Amino acid sequence: MTVAAPPSLWNASTKEPDILDQPDGDTTTELAIVGGGFTGLSAALHAAEAGMACHVLEAQAIGYGGSGRNVGLVNAGLWLPPQVCRAKLGDTIGSRLVHLLGNAPDMVFDLIQRHQMQCEATRAGTIHAARTSGGMTDLRARADEWQRLGAPVQLLSRDEAAERIGTQALHGGLYDARAGTINPVGYVRGLARAARSAGAVIRTGTPVQNLRRDGGLWRLQTSTGTLHARHVLLCTNGYSDGLWPELQRCFTPIHYFQLTTAPMGSQAAHILPNGEGMWDTGTIMFSLRRDVEGRICVGSMGSVIGGAEGLSHRWATRQIRRLFPELGKVRFETAWHGRIAMTPDHLPRIYQLAENLYAPIGYNGRGIGPGTVFGAGLAAALTGGGPDALPVPPTSLQKVPLRKLKQAALEVAFTANQLFRSL
């Protein structure tokens, strides 16, 4: 079987070696994890460190799905402000989740340091930029609440944001010193390497063809053999398939696309000069960052449309011209998109699908921090911590009404946005 890698710049540029391992035969383990992304490999690492035997089964290469196509912003918290998170989940559960995810960058960067992951880690913070003056109202409320909770965030005026980002086209921003940027493929491969060093078995190019109960265990049938396990985690998130069909119906899949330039050297040194990553307050979000080689990476919701002269390239050219007209014509070398699992309330879930079968899902575009935290929490729960170790209580499946219609409507809106903003 040919193993496919994520079609992103991050896969081409990372220095962290890939893990390709396809052992044959039947075996039994304590924990089977389906999906070699942030969540599955964080769970494998923490479970193996706690002494639990575990196998990770990845259908393609490590990080093939959303993890390897991520923007690479290690943000704190969720898209939702802390006060909204508490209002939706209740004060006890909401406050716990806000605390855990507010500290998620600490966990990510601690793992990177401890295991010496080669993932271009830069902890210079991120900037949530106001696309309009109305966006500053939202950012001010977020800043007030995070500051009340003691977080190192700073509301930036228009001039302060312009100095940090390199453009006067935005109306201000919210700087978060907890956050940073990484090469996400380097990070997810680093998690795999660390998990394997701790004793986890990693199988790539090993799609699970069937999952069913077999006595007191779960039976996972693959092309290379059968794996029996007491516990199973389905860590497929936005790339969930027909293995457990109902799982696909509990989120709305959307795409997020990115384009990157060639390294631009001193010509673009004034853009995010301190190394922050940025995203904006637009309903259809826009993101901006540079990598360690000086490439500019821009992205937004939707799919890559067309080739080198196609709609997405025209959109990206127009965004650079709007923000940084001094750069002149910019050439984009790489383009890709990935899939995000959006839940109706924009909150992540841990679904209990059956006895000893769980599916963490719905990071709503915040895969790195929440994926790492949820994987660690699931491992802690299964290795003695019990349900109290989970970031959120497990729930039963909740299907999204009119999911396919919502997905189609969103894709139309995202395509229209590219067209409008490329004019």
Every domain of the chain and the residues it spans: 9-124+182-251+343-406
The span from the CA of 300 to the CA of 291, in Å, is 17
pLDDT computed for residue 21 by the predictor: 81
For residues 355-368, one letter each, b for 16 or more C-beta atoms within 10 angstroms of the residue's C-beta and e for the rest, the string is ebbbbbbbbbbbbb
β-sheet bridge partners, residue 57: 34, 203
3-class DSSP assignment, residue 90 = coil
12-64 pLDDT, tens digit per residue, is 999 999 988 877 789 999 999 999 999 999 999 999 999 999 999 999 999 99
Residues of the chain predicted below pLDDT 70: 1
The span from the CA of 389 to the CA of 373, in Å, is 11
Distances 244 to 7, 303, 353, 375 between C-alpha atoms, Å: 26, 26, 9, 19
Q: Phi and psi (nearest 5°) for 52?
A: -90, 130
pLDDT computed for residue 22 by the predictor: 73
The span from the CA of 35 to the CA of 65, in Å, is 9
pLDDT computed for residue 1 by the predictor: 61
3-class DSSP assignment, residue 227 = strand
204-219 pLDDT, tens digit per residue, is 999 999 999 999 999 9
3-class DSSP assignment, residue 312 = helix
Q: Helices 368-380 and 91-102, interaxial angle, to 10°?
A: 110
9-124+182-251+343-406: what fold?
A: FAD/NAD(P)-binding domain (3.50.50)
Residue 300 CB burial class (10 angstroms; 0-12, 13-18, ≥19): buried
